Structure 1
């Protein structure tokens, strides 16, 4: 009995051991075998396991320890991602090597935005070689000059190797690992770059065409569309890794935020294009102001990201706001009856589908991953949007052309009516002109007869005019003689008769007339040569001096004023009043009092007394000479050859 029990226990233990071995084999990480029949294999499900390194301090030796090695987990849903952007992630795969394979093999990472990937490659002895790559390193460090990250793997020995990968990135990255033969990689890379050429070629063609349209018609909507397309192209190049390969291969720091700059340009120029294409400022002013507000808010967010933390550019979901605003604007304007908006709505509908699909992928929604189409879904939607936006612009131009043609037909119709009206008016005017011409002809004959009579009268008037001109000439000569006589008589009267100051002032109204009179007396200008003799050298030629009516000797340069060597020299009394004072004293034979002179000339009595005394003294000294003078010479003899003291 005991023997039977012992045998049963042994059988149970054996069966238990077999079950444990079966379970462990079933739960172990699958090994992907290298086979020539399979050119490529993408690691999914339990084929790729991950470990989150929260502090980012684990080394390869650490993760291979049993304590951490047992913590690797399989991801059964979607593609592995670095959910915690502050942590590092370790991934491992198992590959069974077969030296009988006739192909060379590589491991490829699809996501070009990963900052750093450290690959630990095993050999048949269990040793590891580390290789580091990523978009934060110069492009030339890559093993293959390709936008993706590729690494050669050895296949000279038969063994099962466990590959470890440490991934660190500042933005969410897909850890898509593919085992590929080199021949398959070359074929795939050529096909992919060919598709890129088509896509970016379409972007450049659309941009160049609309740039030409802008230069032709100068409508700013074309310029905004060009800038929008270029920003879309730059964003796709940043996401695809093509920009890093061709635009800034030696500046990896641009990879950290260039896509954010491109997305900002996409949002801003998309909204500006929306405003100009849909005429929101006229058709929906409140909506237009809201679009401007979104542009300002997006610009503020861009500035904050650029100045404070470029990692915030990874929050791409903010682009849903400008996208939603542009989409709603198209729907709103289309419902108002603006037909070009229908293509605009279609374009943004496809773009919205692309963005929503990418957002759902980021949220790990199941059932929406369709392979290559999923990866390039946003690029496909961008192409469809560009096509429909081009249709929208063309439709707008077509409507404008239709309106222009209609306006031209209306102008032609109106011009035809105007021409008919013009012809009618011309006929009426010609009839009226003929009648008017007949009347004018009749009146012209009458006017011509009157003109002949007027010409005869004009001849007679011309003769009379000549006679009158001759008479005026004779009268002018007589007036000149008479005027000369009047001046002479008046001056003679002044020299010999008693006149009041008002009448005296008419003859000598100002200093100039007084100086002119003095010059005539002093230098006897009525004689030939002017009677000038220099007081210093006796020379008889002179030039005009510095003061009025003064004379400067042409030989010794002596400048003699008109009042020097006269009774008026050094006097401070106005010259015309001094003239009149000499005249009054002379005509009254010195009997006029200083009080009377002060009353007549409005000068202080003391001044009149002092200056009058000097005049009377001169009169007394020249009593005989003055007595023998003629009345016409008057008081001129009293003026000359006397140097007075200051008065």
Structure 2
């Protein structure tokens, strides 16, 4: 008995479904929602044609008040909408299917049992083939007086199968669409301005966080533009395959840049290593999904990506909460911003999964959430700049105090070091100007001083004397006793030369080998001979102590003095002193000779 009653009720419901009343046109065309007028059947095998539909008697199912939504599936779906014009005049309307990423939408307009108009729509066809220039699918329709038209839609898509259908008066449609476009323009404009602003900050500061944020801000509107049909209309109207792939790529970019930005902005690694590692996993997954968009069918890819993006949003929110709890200053702004974004993302995911109905709020939930998010994150980045500026000022103030203290300490140290450096400089100068064996000045320093004294004598017309002296038979000392003993002799002779020079201005140097040179400023020939004789006697009067015992040595010296002038030269002075030395050697050595003036 119960079985018969249930069967009767099912037959009755089927009869009611099939005999649903058609929509009646009226003069009010301000966007009539056709959800209640939609009837549908499923074609899982993709074998039903329009002829089969018109000739057969399929069991149509009433859609109800919600938007037709079968989420992600591989079936074809036939929809039927019956519309009557009960008036005595012609009526024109626009039928809008406001879901831009359907792959195939075949439209058949039937009247009096025959198809009088047919359209092939969908984002798998180039944009220019559409009968109406719009990002959504728009079907222009016209009724004669008292005409009944049945609209058949065959829908097949790798994306979510949603068919929000609205019947518009043309004027009302353009008014509503203008408002909708302005709102979208505000959204995209806001995103571009924020991206450009943060890109400029990146160029100024060079901080990687701002560049990651720019990538995130750009990927989000590009994803929504691809999903809403704006990209297909304005950016790539002929690239039908890329139109699907772009949704995957840009949503993956949101995940990749969002994870990177979160890690960099919150310094997640310093607060939770496991969350940081999880974000890295989401980053790699986003890269893999973006690459797979070019190889894996859209249906499978988008299903995984929606779950992956939702997980990344939850993990990003968890990062903000943990960092906020552990004292990260800017994490509170980030957490609030990401909550807005996550809410919009969840609304979109639930809508595409068929859980939430399609309406203005669910369609634009992601736009609203992402707009709030980027604005709040911009505040967070600005707060970060302010915080860094405050820290910089505090650091500068502390550095200034420390610098003042350091300057005070440094002044004392500088004086000490200056004295030490002056002493070291003088020591280095002495070392560079000193003969290492004898301790007298070397030949290089001798040449410099000799030139200076010559110029000074020439300027002031004062006498300048030169003594050249040579150790007698020094070669036989080296040959007989060896060079070490010769070095001992040179060192001792140099010491006695130093003792024989009395005036501070007198300058003694090793001239080369066993020869020595003494410069005597302000000294005439007689004075120079006195100095030379004093040194000769100091060397002759006592033997030189060497490593092989005492050794008696003598020296010969040549003296010449001149008042420098334009006709004489320093070379001439040295030559005459050398000639005098040669004369002393020739006269028997151990003596001092002078060079007579020319």
Q: TM-score range by the shorter chain?
A: 0.5 to 0.7
Pairs aligned (count): 434
Matched, 1:62 2:47: no
Instruction: Using the TM superposition, give the Cα deviation of residue 196 of structure 1 relative to its aligned residue in structure 2, in angstroms.
Output: 1.3
Corresponding residue of 1:412: 400
Unaligned runs of 5+ in 2: 1-10, 417-500, 508-519, 533-556, 560-576, 589-598
CA, structure 1 residues 308+314, in 2 after alignment: closer, same or farther (shift >3 Å)? Answer: closer
Structure-2 separation of matches of 1:476 and 1:35: 142
* Structure 2 Cα separation of the partners of residues 296 and 21 of structure 1: 56
Name the counterpart of 1:78: 66
Deviation sequence 1:566-598 (CA, Å, 0-9, x none): xxxxxxxxxxxxxxxxxxxxxxxxxxxxxxxxx
Deviation at 1:469, TM superposition (A): 4.5
Deviation at 1:130, TM superposition (A): 1.5
How do 1:194-209 and structure 2 match up within 5 A?
Answer: 194-209=182-197
| Structure-2 change in CA distance of 1:284 and 1:95 (3 Å) | same
**Does 2:598 align with 1:472?**
no
> By how many angstroms is 1:377 displaced?
0.7
Equivalences for residues 318-357 of structure 1 within 5 A: 318-357=308-347
Going from structure 1 to structure 2, the CA distance change for 1:23 and 1:260 (only over 3 Å counts) comes to closer
Question: What is the match of residue 105 of structure 1?
Answer: 93
Secondary structure at the counterpart of residue 216 of structure 1: helix
> Separation in 1 of the partners of 2:143 and 2:81?
16
Deviations 1:381-402 (A, max 9, x none): 1101111111111111111111
**2 CA distance for matches of 1:176 and 1:312?**
23
C-alpha deviation, 1:237, in angstroms: 0.6
How much has 1:300 moved relative to structure 2? 2.6
Q: Is the aligned partner of 1:191 residue 2:179?
A: yes
- The aligned counterpart of 1:266 is 254
2:66 aligns to what SS in structure 1? coil
Q: 1:95 to 1:326 in 2, by over 3 A?
A: same
Give the Cα separation in 2 of the matches to 1:244 and 1:184: 24
Task: Give runs of aligned pairs for residues 247-262 of structure 1, distance below 5 A.
Answer: 247-262=235-250
Q: Which runs of 5+ in 1 are unaligned?
A: 1-19, 430-450, 480-647
* Matching residue of 2:542: none
Alpha-carbon distance between aligned partners in 2 of 1:138 and 1:417, rounded to the nearest angstrom = 75
Check whether the contact 1:305–1:311 (CA below 8 A) recurs between aligned residues: no
CA distance in 2, matches of 1:205, 1:213: 12
| CA RMSD between the two structures | 3.2
Q: Which region of structure 1 is more displaced relative to structure 2, 116-125 or 100-109?
A: 100-109
Residue in structure 2 matching 1:37, options 28, 53, 64: 28
Cα 1:402/1:126, change in 2 over 3 Å: same
**Shift of residue 290, structure 1, vs aligned partner:** 2.9
What is the Cα deviation at residue 417 of structure 1? 4.8
Q: 1:269 to 1:106 in 2, by over 3 A?
A: same
Q: Is the 8 A contact 2:188 2:221 kept in 1?
A: yes
Q: Against the structure 1 CA distance between its residues 469 and 176, is the aligned structure 2 distance closer, same or farther, given a 3 Å change threshold?
A: same
**Structure 1 pair 43/404, CA: closer, same or farther in 2 (3 Å)?**
same
* Offset from partner CA, 1:160-203 (integer Å, 9 cap, x none): 22211100101113111111110011111211111111111001
Aligned partner of residue 300 in structure 2, secondary structure: helix
With over 3 angstroms needed to count, the CA separation of the structure-2 counterparts of 1:308 and 1:364, relative to structure 1, is: closer
Residue 348 of structure 2 corresponds to 358
Instruction: Tell me if 1:133 matches 2:121.
Output: yes
TM-score scaled to structure 1, two decimals? 0.62
| 8 Å contact from structure 2 (residues 195, 214) kept in 1 | yes
Cα distance in 1 between the residues matched to 2:403 and 2:65: 75
Q: What corresponds to 1:12 in structure 2?
A: none
Q: Structure 1 residues 75, 37: closer, same or farther in 2, change over 3 A?
A: closer
Given that residues 93 and 169 in structure 2 are in contact (C-alpha distance below 8 angstroms), is that contact kept between their aligned partners in structure 1? yes
The structure number with the bigger radius of gyration is 1
Which structure: greater strand fraction? 2
Maintained 8 Å contact 1:34/1:101: no
- Scaled by the length of structure 2, the TM-score of the pair is 0.67
